[in-house]
Amino acid sequence: MTNDLMEKVVSLCKRRGFVYPSSEIYGGFSGFWDYGPLGVELRHNIKQHFWSKFIFEREDIYPISTSIIMSPKIWEASGHVPGFGNEIFKTSVGAGEETTTSYLRPETAQGMFANFKNIVDSFHPRLPFGIAQIGKAFRNEISPRDFLFRLREFEQMEIEYFVKGKDWEKYFEMWRGIMNGFAAEVGVKIHEFEVPTDERAHYSKRTIDFQFDYPFGRGELWGLAYRTDFDLKNHNLDYFDDEIGERFMPHVVEPSLGVDRTVLAVLVSAYTEDELGGELRTYLKLSKNIAPVRAAVFPLLKNKPELVNKAKELFLNLKSQIPNLAFDDNGNIGKRYRRQDEIGTPFCITIDFDTLQDDTVTLRDRDTGEQKRIKITDLKEAIV
Ligand code: ATP
């Protein structure tokens, strides 16, 4: 596949309201993009899925949300300043003589280390446990490029997982498995790349890059790193194990996932062109747990009030149980199907004259275009 694919994805994103260039009315602003209504939903669903799998379904992860601007001392201790200096956005905090120079965080991770002691004091977790956050990060990248791949403002989903030093390999493997599962669930094929010693950050004893085949070539999507006890040491933090009465430095395994790169990989993977009923069509083969719209409800004809009313009634009823539902009565039914295909809606539900007689509807499958008749009472189960 070529950059042609990237152009098609970028153009679909703009046309259908997934992603727009930032500040476009003034010619754009390199490294920044805005999400439209469908992009926001897609992002939300990806983050929500991460939240369920990496945080909510487990009992050992503590989610937090920390400030984007923190004390500059954090960035000195972490080694980001001056080392990372030219890629970190500087800002002034306060006014006049009270002005302090600080930075927009280049990663969310330091927020977790900075709150390690707070979490331990509030919740007394036993090792292993993790602190997680989803939030914005900023890097003044020299050459932002490739749509959502290299941005200056992006979002990360990160977990700092604290373990006893001797156990790191076991938990590294655990997160590796979870990340592979997540990739399959959001519909992206990844390639694990064992990062060689000389390419790893100096504090990391092992890193796997989860790479993806973007239209411009293979590149990093997510990372999994064993960060040793580097970070807690830098911040002079440790852990008291009251079972053995010992104080020591936990080690850290870190799954780090970029939201925007995930959106890009998901869109590129989902973009499909095929022929249906003798016509070319473009559709997004999005996995149904992340598609911005789960199903669309149509009255067969717009000018028949009995069909429209029945369709509205069904729409409102279903929407109370499945919130990401759309209603459409614009244009002919074929056009509506195509519009939903193009934004990746897995199911279309059509109300026709038979519906008024027997409370059945047609349920159309996005990928095959096949339609089947189904009872309204069985709909919910068929689309969740
Ligand atoms: P790269 O080598 O591509 O610059 P990195 O190794 O610096 O990435 P990390 O510091 O490991 O990236 O950041 C963790 C995750 O954050 C990455 O796997 C990626 O998903 C995301 N990420 C990092 N930099 C950017 C960026 N400039 N734009 C979008 N996402 C990014």
pLDDT of 170 reads: 98
pLDDT recorded at residue 222:
98
Q: Is the pLDDT of residue 30 over 90?
A: yes
Q: Nearest-CA neighbor of 109 among 86, 142, 82, 75?
A: 75
Same domain, 303 and 162: no
Contact yes or no for 43/34 (Cβ under 8 A): no
Same domain, yes or no: 211 and 95: yes
More confident residue, 203 or 50: 50
For helices 259-270 and 3-16, angle between their N-to-C axes, nearest 10 degrees: 100
Instruction: Find tokens 């053995």 and name the residue.
Output: 244
Do 255 and 297 fall within a single domain?
A: no
pLDDT in tens, 293-311: 999 999 999 999 999 999 9
Question: CB burial class (10 A; 0-12, 13-18, 19+) of residue 216?
Answer: middle
- pLDDT tens, 58-87? 999 999 999 999 999 999 999 888 766 689
Residue at which a domain ends, from 268, 285, 320: 268
Ligand 1 neighbour 154 (Cβ under 6 A): yes
Percent of the chain at pLDDT exceeding 70: 98
Domain that holds residue 225: 3-268
Residues 205, 108 share a domain: yes
Domain contains 254: yes
The verdict on the CB of residue 220 being under 6 Å from ligand 1 is yes
Output the CA 100–ligand 1 centroid distance in Å.
28
283 vs 6: CA distance, rounded Å: 15
Is there a domain that residue 176 lies in? yes
Q: Express as a percent the part of the chain with pLDDT over 90.
A: 94
Residue 311's nearest CA partner among 321, 323, 302 is 302
Say if ligand 1 is within 6 A of residue 87 CB.
no
Average pLDDT over residues 49-60: 98
Give the separation between CA 19 and CA 41, rounded to whole angstroms.
Answer: 11
Instruction: Please tell me the total count of domains within the chain.
Output: 2
CA distance 328 to 350: 10
∠264-36-112 over CA atoms, to 5°?
A: 60
159 & 59 share domain: yes
* Amino acid 3: pLDDT: 64
Q: Are residues 255 and 311 in the same domain?
A: no
In a domain, 56, yes or no: yes
Residues counted in the chain: 384
Q: Are 343 and 285 in contact (CB under 8 A)?
A: no
Q: What is the pLDDT of residue 51?
A: 98
For residue 141 and ligand 1, the question of a CB distance below 6 A is answered with: yes
Residue 144 lies in a domain: yes
Q: Which atom of ligand 1 is nearest to the CA of 225?
A: 11
Q: Are residues 241 and 320 in the same domain?
A: no
Query: b/e per residue, 107-139, with b = 16+ CB within 10 A?
Result: bbbbbbbbbbeebbeeeebebbbbbbbbbebbb
Average pLDDT of the chain?
Answer: 96
**Distance from C-alpha of 257 to C-alpha of 209, rounded to nearest angstrom:** 10
Q: What three-state secondary structure class fits 234? A: helix
The span from the CA of 352 to the CA of 359, in Å, is 10
With 70 as the cut, is the pLDDT of residue 1 above it? no
pLDDT digits (tens, 9 = 90+) for 155-185: 999 999 999 999 999 999 999 999 999 999 9
Element (H, E) at 20: strand 19-21
Q: What is the CATH number of the domain that holds 321?
A: 3.40.50.800
Q: For the whole prediction, is pTM greater than 0.75?
A: yes
Separation between Cα atoms, residue 237 and residue 233, nearest integer Å: 6
Assigned domain for 285 exists: no
- Both 201 and 251 in one domain: the answer is yes
Amino acid at 66: T
Question: What are the φ/ψ torsions at residue 268 (nearest 5 degrees)?
Answer: -65, -40
In a domain, 288, yes or no: no
Pair 193, 90 in one domain: yes
Is the confidence at residue 118, as pLDDT, over 80?
yes
State whether 250 and 300 are in the same domain: no
Owner of token pair 């499945």: 322
pLDDT for the residue 277? 87
- Burial category of 372 from C-beta neighbours within 10 Å (exposed 0-12, middle 13-18, buried 19 and up): exposed
What would the mean pLDDT of 190-208 be, rounded to a whole number?
A: 95
- Which residue type does 250 have? P
What is the rounded average pLDDT of the residues 16-21?
Answer: 98
Q: Between 3 and 94, whose confidence is greater?
A: 94
For ligand 1, whether the C-beta of 223 sits within 6 Å is: yes
Tokens representing residue 158 in the block: 């990160």
The CATH code of the domain that includes 235 is 3.30.930.10
Report pLDDT for 2.
Answer: 56
Burial class (CB in 10 A: 0-12, 13-18, 19+), 27: exposed
Domain membership flag for residue 273? no
Q: If pLDDT is split at 50, 70 and 90, which confidence band does 97 have?
A: confident
Encode pLDDT of 317-332 as tens digits.
999 999 999 999 999 9
For residue 256, give the ligand 1 atom closest to its CA. Answer: 14
* pLDDT in the model for residue 52: 98
Q: Are residues 202 and 342 in the same domain?
A: no
Which ligand 1 atom is nearest residue 144's CA?
Answer: 27
> Are 91 and 188 within one domain?
yes
Q: What pLDDT sits at residue 357?
A: 97
